[in-house]
Amino acid sequence: MAILSLALKSLLNRRFTASLVLLSIALSVALLLGVERLRVESRNSFANTISGTDLVVGARSGAINLLLYSVFRIGDATNNISWKSYKKFSEHSLVKWTIPISLGDSHRGYRVMGTNRDYFRFYKYANKRSLSFHQGRPFEEVYQAVLGHEVAGELDYRMGQEIVIAHGAGKTSFTLHDDKPFKVVGILEPTGTPVDRTVHVPLEGIEAIHVDWVAGRQVRGLNISADEALEKDLTPKAITAFLVGLKSKIATFRVQREINDYRKEPLLAVLPGVALQQLWDLISVAENALLIITLLVVAVGLIGILTVMLASLNERRREMAILRSVGARPGHILLLVTGEGLLLSLIGIAAGLLLLYAGLFLAQTYIETHYGLHLPIGLPSLREWLILVLVGTSALIVGLIPGYRAYRYSLADGMSIRI
Amino acid sequence: MPQTAAIEVKDLRFRWRTGLPEVLRITSLEVARGERIFIRGASGSGKSTLLALLAGVNLPTGGDVEILGETVNRLSSAGRDHFRSDHIGFIFQLFNLIPYLSVMDNVTLPCRFSRLRKEKATASGNSLQAEAMRLLAHLDMADEALIHRPVVELSVGQQQRVATARALIGAPEIIIADEPTSALDSEMRQVFLHLLFQECEETGSTLLFVSHDRQLEHLFERHIALDEINRLEQVV
C-alpha cells in the first residue's frame, strides 16, 4: 500500500527517535512475555513434580504446608507422624503402595530424605514418569545414599564417595553426623523436580545417625559407632509424611476421610492436585500484581509512542499540506500517521519476541541449574499470541489519537502551509 | 464536443464562516486551455483562498468553480481530492518537498495518488522513474549526485525544480504555481520561469501563476490583478 510505504520512509527518516521508542516497546513486550512464560513454566514445573500419587499424608496442619514440605522440600514439618499410624495405613486394603518420607537433615544445603526402596519403584513425576538411574542402583544397606542429579553435578560427587550428613536443614550446620558417613551407590537422571536436589538415604540410616541423639542433641558420652548402631533395632519411631497410591481412584475420598478421621493421631491427607490448586490461588495474587506491573510497563511504552508522534505532529503540518496538494485525502493522512504508530509497534513487538528468545536462549541453562526450572524454547502459546494481539490492538488505538489529530489538521489547513 | 475552458469561475463568493465578512467575490474569471496567466495579488488579497477554492480544498459559499468542464464544488470531498490529484499540479513558494523522500520519490509522489497521471506518465512506454528522469533532465536536474542527495540538502532553486518536475509528471491539464520564485534571486527566477514555460508548452498545460512580483508580469500572455476582479463591497 502506497501510504504505508510513505509511513515507513517517514519512520526511517526519524530513525533515532523511532528506534528509541521501538526499544522501549521491545523491552516491555519481552518483559511481559518473559513474566508470562516464567509463570506458566513454574506452574508446569510444580504440577510436574508429583504425578500418580493419590494422597499426601502428614501431621495435621495446612494442606499447602504439607504439600510444600513433603513434595517440594520447602519449609519444615510442624510435627511428625508415628510409625504405627504409617504402618496401619500402608497395610490398608485399598492402598496399593506407600512411600514414607523422613526429613530434617541436610547435606551442604541439600535436603536429605529418608525413605525406602518403594520410592524408586512408585514415585512418579511429570506425565507419570518413573525415576531412573543415571549411574548405580537403589540403596540396599543402611549407610548408602542415592543422589539427585543436581546434587551430584554441583558437588561433583562420584559413585562410591562417602558423604556426611548434617543435622538440621541449614546450609551451614555445625552439628555433623560425621561418625556415620554414607556411601554413594546411585545417581538419578535429571527430572526437573526437587528430586534433583535431594539426597536419598534409607529410613534406617536416618534412625542410625540419631541413635545416640535425644531431643535434637547428641548425648555426651553416649557414642555409638556406626557398626554398633547396626546391631540396634533401626525401625523408625516416626516419619514426616507419606505418599499413597490407591488401587482405585474411586476410593480416594473414602481413604482420605478415613485418614482425616483417624482417632489415634491427628493426621491430614490431601489430594496433591487440590492442594496445588489452593497454592495457585494463594500465589495468583502475587502473579496478578506482577502481570499488572508488566502491563503498565507496556502502557508506558505505548505512551512513549504517543508522545513522540504527537510532538512531531505540529512540525509535520507542512508535509500534510503538500500531501493534500498532490491528492492525498484526509483519510490518507490519518492512515499515514496511524500507520506509522502501528508500524513502530509491530516492529517493536517483533523485536520484543526476538529479545525474549535471545534471553531464553542465554538464560535457559542458568535458570535450570540454579532454580531447577526448565524454560522450553518453543513457539509462543495461544495465550502469548493473545497478549501480542492485545498489545498490537492497543498500539492501533494509541496510533489513532495522533492520526485523528492529523486528520483534523489537514481538514482545517487544507493546502495552506503553516509553519 | 466543444473544448471547455480550463477554468471558469462564475459568481464566486467565499466567507470562512457564516457571520464573518466575505473575503472573495469574483463575478467571472475564465482561463482558456494552454493559457499562461499571471494573477497578481498582495498577501492578504485572497490569493490563497482563491487557490484553495480552485483546488477544491475549500468550498465556495456561492457560485460555481468549473475546472475542465467539471463543476468542482458539486463533487464529493473524496471526488474533489481525486479530481485535484488527476488534473492539477502544484508548486508552492518554499519547502515543497517531503523531507523524508528521495528526489525520485518526491517527483513521482502524485502518481501514488492518481492512477490517471501514472498512466499518462508511463504512456510513452517509459517506466515512471525514466519519465521522472526525463523531466528532471529538462529542468537541468539530471545529475546523479543531485538525485541521490537528501532533498533537504538541495538548494532552494534545486528544490523548486524538483517541485516543478513533480507538478508536471503525468501531464496534468493545470499547473498552479503559488509564488514559486519568491525565494529565488532574479537570475534564477528567469531561468526557472523559462524552464517552467517550456515544460508547460510541451505538455500543453495551463499555467496559473500567482505572485505579487510585478516584474514578472510581462512574461505572461495575460495578467490579472486580483483586487480588480475581487469585487467586494467593502475591502477587507
Q: Domains in chain B, ordered, with CATH?
A: 7-229 (3.40.50.300)
Chain B residues in contact with A415 (beta carbon < 8 A): 51-52, 55, 57, 90
Q: Is residue A371's pLDDT more than 50?
A: yes
**Closest Cα to residue B5, out of B69, B80, B50, B97?**
B69
Residue A311 and residue A288 share a domain: yes
pLDDT in tens, A23-80: 999 999 999 999 988 888 888 888 888 888 999 999 998 899 999 899 888 888 888 9
Residue of A nearest to B152 (CA): A13
Instruction: Give per-residue pLDDT as tens, A115-128.
Output: 999 999 999 888 78
**DSSP 8-class letter at B72:** G
For residue A219, the 8-state DSSP code is P
Is the residue at A278 inside a domain? Answer: no
Asked whether residue A38 falls in the same domain as residue A63, the answer is no
ipTM above 0.90, yes or no: no
Q: Which residue of B has its CA nearest to A7?
A: B100
CB contact under 8 A, B100 and A417: no
Contact A196, A140 (CB under 8 A): no
Q: pLDDT tens digits for A153-169?
A: 989 999 999 999 988 76
Select the residue of B55, B90, B112 nearest A2 (Cβ to Cβ). B112
* Residue of A81, A213, A231 whose CA lies nearest to A142: A231
Domain boundary among A241, A270, A299: A270
Same-domain pairing of A81 and A222: yes
Please calculate the CA angle B108-B113-B116 and round it to the nearest 5 degrees: 85
Residues A261 and A207 in one domain: yes
Which cell goes with A232?
540396634
In this complex, the residue of A326, A331, A415 whose CB is nearest that of residue B57 is A415
Residue A276 lies in a domain: no
Range of the domain at A133: 55-270
Identify whether A316 is part of a domain: yes
Long-range contacts, B194-198 (Cβ 8 Å, 24+): B195/B138, B195/B139, B195/B140, B195/B161, B195/B164, B196/B164, B197/B36, B198/B138
Residues of A in contact with B55 (CB under 8 A): 325, 414-415
- Please, are residues B214 and B30 in contact by the beta-carbon 8 Å criterion? no
Range among A15-19, A145-149, B222-226 with highest mean pLDDT value: A145-149
Q: Within this chain, do residues A175 and A112 fall inside the same structural domain, yes or no? A: yes
pLDDT tens sequence for chain B (236 residues): 457 788 888 888 888 877 788 888 888 888 888 888 998 887 777 787 888 888 888 888 888 888 888 888 888 888 888 888 889 888 887 777 888 888 888 898 888 888 888 888 888 788 888 888 888 888 777 788 888 888 888 888 888 888 888 988 888 889 988 888 877 777 778 888 888 888 888 888 899 988 888 888 888 888 888 877 776 654 44
CA-based angle B94:A408:A306, to the nearest 5? Answer: 95
Measured between CA atoms, how close is A2 to chain B, in angstroms? 6
For residues A226 and A153, membership in a common domain is answered with: yes
Within A73-142, strands assigned E span 81-82, 95-107, 110-115, 124-125, 129-130, 133-136
B107 phi, psi to nearest 5 deg: -65, -40
Residue A250 sits in the same domain as residue A222: yes
- Containing B50, the helix (H) or strand (E) segment is helix B47-55
Is residue A359 in a domain? yes
Tell me the sheet residues that pair with A419: none
User: Which residue type, as a one-letter code, is found at position A126?
Assistant: A
Cα–Cα dist A7/B231, whole Å: 44
Same domain, A388 and A321: yes
- Over the stretch A209-229, which tens digit does the pLDDT of each residue have? 887 766 666 666 667 777 888
A328 contacts chain B (CB < 8 A): yes
> Chain B residues with CB-CB distance to A under 8 A?
48, 51-52, 55, 57-58, 77-78, 81-82, 84-86, 90, 92-93, 95-101, 105, 109-110, 112-114, 166
Do A262 and A307 sit in the same domain of this protein?
Answer: no
Cα A20 from Cα A23, distance rounded (Å): 5
Q: Minimal Cα distance from B83: which residue of A?
A: A327
Residue pair A217/A393 in contact (Cβ under 8 Å)? The answer is no
Domain final residue, candidates A270, A300, A331: A270
State which of A249, A270, A291 marks the end of a domain. Answer: A270
B113 to A415: CB separation less than 8 angstroms, yes or no: no
CA atoms within 13 A on the CB side of B120: 18
DSSP A105: E
Residue A419 falls inside a structural domain: no
- Look at residue A117 and tell me if it is in a domain: yes
Distance CA A243, CA A120 (A): 13
A418 located within any domain: no
Does some domain include residue A299? Answer: yes
* Cβ–Cβ gap A327/B114 under 8 Å: yes
Same domain, A264 and A336: no
What is the edge-to-edge ordering of all strands in the sheet holding B88-91? B88-91, B174-178, B206-211, B36-40, B222-225
B57 three-state secondary structure: coil
Cell digits of residue B33 = 486551455
Q: Contact B98/A414, CB-based, under 8 Å?
A: no
User: In this structure, are A136 and A96 located in the same domain?
Assistant: yes
B211 bridge partner residues: B40
Does residue A182 share a domain with residue A136? yes
Tally of domains in chain A = 2
Q: How far is CA B97 from CA A339, B91, B177, in A?
A: 21, 10, 14
Number of Cβ within a 10 Å radius of residue A377: 10
